[in-house]
Amino acid sequence: MNITEEALKLSDSEKLELIGLLWNDIDEHQKVKLSGAKKKFLDTRIEVIESGEGSFVTLVEIKNRHYAASK
């Protein structure tokens, strides 16, 4: 089984934790250069999520919106 298949089996909270770990690893190694504005935007999003104030949509909702918009 490959890493993608393993990651997709994680719960939503485990996926978010993994995203955070990966993001911090990338940030520490400076492999991705972000502009100040992009970094500020992403840091703000992280703060909202960590505070519990973030809102999310499911894949089904995204697909439904896309389908409705394509009519």
Give the pLDDT confidence score for residue 29 in this predicted structure.
Answer: 67
Decide if pLDDT at 20 tops 70: yes
Domain layout of the chain by residue ranges? 3-69
Amino acid at 65: R
Q: What is the mean pLDDT of residues 56-62?
A: 91
Q: Could you tell me which of 15, 1, 21, 27 has the C-alpha nearest to residue 58?
A: 15
pLDDT at 23: 85
Q: How far apart are CA 20 and CA 28, in angstroms?
A: 12
Q: Is the pLDDT of residue 27 over 80?
A: no
Determine the Cα–Cα distance for residues 42 and 46; give it in Å rounded to an integer. Answer: 6
Share of the chain above pLDDT 90, in %: 59
Question: In the structure encoding, which two tokens stand for residue 10, read together?
Answer: 């994680």
Tell which residue, 28, 6, 25, 24, has the closest CA to residue 15: 6
In this structure, what token pair is assigned to residue 19? 């995203």
pLDDT in tens, 30-52: 666 788 999 999 999 999 999 99
